[in-house]
Structure 1
Amino acid sequence: MKRILYRTFSYLFFWTILFQVARVIFLVYHSTKTASLSLGETFKVAAYGFRMDISFAAYLSALPFLFFLLEVAFRKTIWLKVIRVYTFILIPLLLLLTTMDLELYAAWGFRLDATPLQYLNTPAEMMASAGSAPVALLTLQYLFFVALAIWVFRKLSRTWQASPHHRQHLVAELGLSVFLVAFLILPIRGGWQQIPLNQSDVYFSQNMFANHAGVNVPWNVMQSLLRKSYNTKNPYEYLEADKARALVQDLYHPKSDSIPSLLKVKKPNVLFIILESYTAKLIGPLGGPPDVTPNLNALAKEGILFSNIYASGDRSEKGMVALLSGYPVQTTTSIIKTPKKTERLPQLAKDLKKAGYYTSYYYGGELAFANIKSFLVNGGYDRLVDKSDFPAESYNSKWGAHDHILLDRVQKDLKEMPSPFLMTVFTLSSHEPYEVPMPTKFKGTDEETQFKNAFHYTDWALGQFFKEAKKQPWWQNTLVVLVADHGHLFPGRDANDAPSKFRIPLMMVGGALAVQDKVISTIGSQTDLVPTLLQQMGLPTAHYAWSKNLLDAKATPFAFYVFNDGFGMITPDGALTFDNVSKKPIQRDSSVTDRQVDQGKAYMQTSFEDFLRK
């Protein structure tokens, strides 16, 4: 039994240690950047990167662990030889990736992924990226480490003992070997946590080099290939490029000279609350029933309600980018999955931080979900609070701390928050499985009723929060924004493309607001929110190229959203939804013009083209 444990775990840790050594080489090679790291940050690079190293080591160990099992079952040493051949093939391939990355990182500023596949038919462009590379030095280094790794592995594999031919312990040995194969699932996914390992898990610093250094290059290449993020061919080329750009530019024609002021002060605190799955269909003032969100219904009369706002997509991570960066959503992928792209996006936190704001983000779940943490780190938030900062007894069964626990923590921390501040808060209790820590209001056990009860619970938690907030000194100088991350199919089980599924609430309240009980019916999108806020504060917004001001009387009223390989386009003329696969409308109101159809296609085409260029 000890023999089986020794050779399996020695194989797993051979790869893990090899990747740790590769990280040390990376840090030494980029010594100028490494010098900017403190000793603590340098150790954190290794500590955070370890999970990714052992994850990819476990991927590589899956076949050898299976071969170890076969050797135990059949007592044939040929399987040990197969493992050696397999490893001797992988060592030069993986070390080639890590060696290429040393110089390509200096040229490109991001760790190697599947991007080189873009240049297979234009190799000159790839060579240009590393034109000044010390090729001879890198080649010698590569050959040395390949030889060293092979030598170490040969020494290691010679210590493996073949299974004895007597079979008195066969059942126990087979059971252990099967268990070890299954065990690899744990390091592959990065631990017991709900969300499998992703790039966010190695992002811990405001220094992007520190975050990048923690990434395991072979793991990164594999994930990039799985996401097909190397694809630079725009699948949505509906129109000639010039015509498409002109149609989109027409949607963002010059703005009004003056915008009405909503604020009593130019530099208010901003409390930005993102509500999970908060569809407009359950909000009383937006046409929903009056008894599901009584607290939000009352708040709407205390401030401004935007009644025709649409989510840009149907996932939390997509809504996050649209809300905080004013950037359009992609269909079958998301820019948030690629940190090197989100580094190039504007963010509300970045802009307010430049203006002297203290910035924080609070979420009761795991920030690694859907790579959201890397997006937030790129946004430069001063503080991130997530599931690990809450007691386990406050969790629901799946996501994390219940909303009233989250909001209690927010309430407590706001009392000590330096001013001015931007605090972004993301709720989670209205996400399935729709668990609530209180007696339910609506009778029934069907999924739609459970959703409605969870929706009502979040409204109750908000009501308790605002009741206390209005007594606090910070309230009078604070603008509160409440908006959903996306809509929902319930109630009514909307079709995937239905405009009603994407319609969401947006309201502004707070002591800093100079306007009350006002409804603005302009058609708009999540992407329009940040510049609307920034212009109220007199801050520049030109870098939000995919946004308009919701208070601009001259702005073109429209909303664009995407679903799984399709898009929707809402204007005063009506609603259009379009399937990108069949290249035909799914729904087209009779009043929708051909120009609106072309503008929808143009928006899909040019926004995805911009995503590919990022």
Structure 2
Amino acid sequence: MISNRFRLNEVLVLLYRLFLAFFFYFIVRTLFYIYNGDLLNVDSFWQYLTLAYHGMTFDRIAIFYLSSLFILLSILPIYKTTTKGYQKLLFWTYIIPNLIGFSINFIDLIYYRFIYARTTIAVFDSLEHESNKGTLFFNFLINYWHVFLLCILCCIAWVYLYKRVKFTRPIRIEAKKPYWLTSIAIFVVVVVGFVAGVRGDLKKTTRPLNMIDANRYVTKPEHADIVLNTPFSVLRTIGKTSFKQLTVLDEATKDKYVSPVKQYTVNTPSTPNIVLFITESYGREYIGALNEDMNIEGYQSYTPFIDSLAKHSRIYPNAFANGYKSIHGMSSVVAGIPSFKDAFTSSPYPKQKIESLVSTLKSKGYDTSFFHGAPNGSMGFLGFGNILGYDHYYGKTEYNNDADFDGTWGIWDEPFFQYMKEVLSTKEGPFFATLFSVSSHEPFNIPAKYEGKFPVGTVPIHKTVGYTDYAFKRFFEESRKEPWFDNTIFIITADHTNQVAYDEYVKLVNRTAVPIIIYTADERLKGVDKRLAQQIDIYPTVLDLIGYDKPFRSWGRSLINDTITKPFVVNYVGSEYTYQEGNYICRFNGKEITGYFDINDKGLTNNLINEKNAEMQEIGLKCMAIVQDYFDRVVEKKLE
């Protein structure tokens, strides 16, 4: 037996095991950068190392939390800590939580390209409503096998290196008093170090570090995602919600700069049919008609039909999403309720009376329907649709033909678009129909009979964009034959963006760039409006178009006749609220304004905060006012 008076060897082994965790977190951070480097805009290897160094602060917090039981058992002042049985206990309390946490990092090697942020606990809210979780997991396993392989190899290497350093024989305690004194001292030092490690330091004035603190160490917002790690982001958001009232402005100032109630009296009341398409992942980047003035070298459009339709429509080539997930898109477009850090529908507050396109149009006698070709309840649409009050929900169940199931998400777009046309043709009208498409979604497959029909492009989504464009073409071809077509307003937008092929859309603000297109058969709405637009503008625009003559709750503005509200866009990008208006872009972290940028600086590269002028000051106040009013109304249940 090896003699030991002061437990030095045990401390060194503990440090070695913790070092392994930091080492493998550095490895997976490097893999995260390799997989997403085109989105992260790192200028040099030295800059990456600097970001990785700052990331150790957040790695430490995740590692300490996951290793808390292991650390405690390693420093207990008992004699048998080096025995074979006790060391096996330590192994499992170390390996199980750490490898689970470590493996979560690999999610963002792929998922980051879809949400442009580190994964949080909110991802499980999205998955909660999916009935085909096994199928989704299997498809991801097949499509991204290389990520799973890297994860497994890293885990094997970690276990191997852990076992390379171990106690081969128990340690004999020669002198109990020095051993106990040393043990108590080690226990106190480690506990104090642990508390400081998970908090950031021991100052009473310091709150525990959160995700937003990663922005302390960066000059580009996207660099915060390198500094962060996924288990930290998940752990820090468990049981947390961003839906808390803010008090950054007094009520008088807030009311001066935000107009949450609108009323339009330009158009005569009428009841045209409304067909609203929320197109899955259909970023503005893919649509040629919306990129004619972007001057993108080598640009290629993947939407020939929508491009042709745009020539007869009112189009908005400067429009943006108010969220970054599908459910964000539904609440933003249909109810004019944006989602910022977290989805409104995943907050504690969606179960309240909500004024929306559904409620206002129903008050005018409209039949209201929601179409989504996925299994009923997918994405939470059925539940939120019930809250909004849709009369009918048409999903995969109602379609009732699994021969057209894509094997992953739902019914292929082409047949499901035709199904909606057939259902609408049975209605007397007026009707309001919302269709949420599914096909332009990862894993980006198209029906076998159309293989080779659409351009493959440079990223996987391009061919599915072409397929959904074809679904639109077939829908409009067949709908033109129906008597309701000429009395219908068609609106095409997207829930969020997706894969990026051009540098212009890698820029942080442009990662939320979506289409807004309004078409009528008589072409009374036609032309290009280059002013800022956003998803939450669709709700007031529709009410303006039908001559809805009552006041209604809306943070957005009518894109047709609103001459009072200045065009603006508000969303949550790169871990901060982002507000565009006039000549500037403003950034707000929930407590203070952190930056002003030129309106054309979509990559947020040159912070002008030290050159603040009167226009910037006003834009900053508007940004804070709308965010504060948003949370006030959501939390106090004043959305009707």
TM-score (norm 2): 0.55
Offset of residue 273 of structure 1:
1.1
**Aligned CA distance change for structure 1 residues 258 and 582 (closer, same or farther; 3 Å):** closer
2:44 paired residue number: none
1:378 paired residue number: 387
Quick one: which of 308, 320, 323 aligns to 1:310? 320
Q: How many angstroms apart in 2 are the aligned matches of 1:227 and 1:543?
A: 35
Aligned residue identity for 1:524: A
**Aligned CA distance change for structure 1 residues 505 and 190 (closer, same or farther; 3 Å):** closer
Question: CA RMSD for the aligned pairs?
Answer: 3.3
Quick one: which of 276, 283, 288 aligns to 1:284? 288
> Is the aligned partner of 1:272 residue 2:295?
no
Structure 1 residues 517-561: Cα deviation after superposition (integer angstroms, max 9, x where no partner): 422223222111112111221214522231222122332111111
Number of corresponding residues: 388
Quick one: which of 545, 551, 554 aligns to 1:542? 551
CA contact (8 A) 2:241 2:347 kept: no
2:618 paired residue number: 595
Matches within 5 A, 1:390-409: 390=399, 391-409=401-419
Aligned residue identity for 2:490: V
**Aligned CA distance change for structure 1 residues 395 and 253 (closer, same or farther; 3 Å):** closer
Matches within 5 A, 1:141-290: 193-194=132-133, 228=239, 233-234=244-245, 237-249=247-259, 259=266, 266-287=270-291, 289=299
Structure 1 residues 536-589: Cα deviation after superposition (integer angstroms, max 9, x where no partner): 212145222312221223321111112364222111213334455996335567
Quick one: which of 468, 476, 497 aligns to 2:478? 468
**Aligned CA distance change for structure 1 residues 531 and 424 (closer, same or farther; 3 Å):** same
Matches within 5 A, 1:3-82: none
**Aligned CA distance change for structure 1 residues 443 and 528 (closer, same or farther; 3 Å):** closer
Offset of residue 415 of structure 1:
2.0
Aligned residue identity for 1:532: T
CA contact (8 A) 1:524 1:559 kept: yes
> Is the aligned partner of 1:320 residue 2:330?
yes
CA contact (8 A) 1:497 1:577 kept: no
CA contact (8 A) 1:499 1:575 kept: no
CA contact (8 A) 1:346 1:544 kept: yes
**Aligned CA distance change for structure 1 residues 189 and 478 (closer, same or farther; 3 Å):** closer
**Aligned CA distance change for structure 1 residues 582 and 195 (closer, same or farther; 3 Å):** farther
> Is the aligned partner of 1:575 residue 2:570?
no
Q: How many angstroms apart in 2 are the aligned matches of 1:232 and 1:311?
A: 20
- Secondary structure (helix, strand or coil) at the match of 1:504 reads coil
Stretch moving more, 462-471 or 302-311: 302-311
- Secondary structure (helix, strand or coil) at the match of 1:473 reads coil
Quick one: which of 359, 362, 377 aligns to 2:371? 362
Q: How many angstroms apart in 1 are the aligned matches of 2:541 and 2:251?
A: 29
Unaligned ranges ≥5, structure 1: 1-187, 197-224
Unaligned ranges ≥5, structure 2: 1-126, 136-235, 293-298, 596-603
CA contact (8 A) 1:238 1:601 kept: yes
**Aligned CA distance change for structure 1 residues 313 and 467 (closer, same or farther; 3 Å):** same
CA contact (8 A) 2:349 2:634 kept: no
Runs of 4+ in 1 over 3 A off after TM superposition: 188-192, 225-234, 236-242, 252-255, 257-261, 288-291, 440-445, 492-497, 576-583, 585-592
- Secondary structure (helix, strand or coil) at the match of 1:307 reads coil
Offset of residue 258 of structure 1:
5.7
- Share of identical aligned residues, percent? 23
Q: How many angstroms apart in 2 are the aligned matches of 1:324 and 1:454?
A: 25
**Aligned CA distance change for structure 1 residues 227 and 541 (closer, same or farther; 3 Å):** farther
CA contact (8 A) 1:528 1:548 kept: yes
2:49 paired residue number: none
Aligned residue identity for 1:418: E
Offset of residue 458 of structure 1:
0.5
Q: How many angstroms apart in 1 are the aligned matches of 2:414 and 2:627?
A: 39
- Secondary structure (helix, strand or coil) at the match of 2:258 reads helix
**Aligned CA distance change for structure 1 residues 292 and 230 (closer, same or farther; 3 Å):** closer
1:519 paired residue number: 528
**Aligned CA distance change for structure 1 residues 379 and 443 (closer, same or farther; 3 Å):** closer
**Aligned CA distance change for structure 1 residues 314 and 561 (closer, same or farther; 3 Å):** same
**Aligned CA distance change for structure 1 residues 396 and 494 (closer, same or farther; 3 Å):** farther
CA contact (8 A) 1:489 1:496 kept: no
1:117 paired residue number: none
Aligned residue identity for 1:508: I
- Secondary structure (helix, strand or coil) at the match of 1:399 reads coil
Q: How many angstroms apart in 2 are the aligned matches of 1:574 and 1:441?
A: 43
- Secondary structure (helix, strand or coil) at the match of 2:500 reads coil
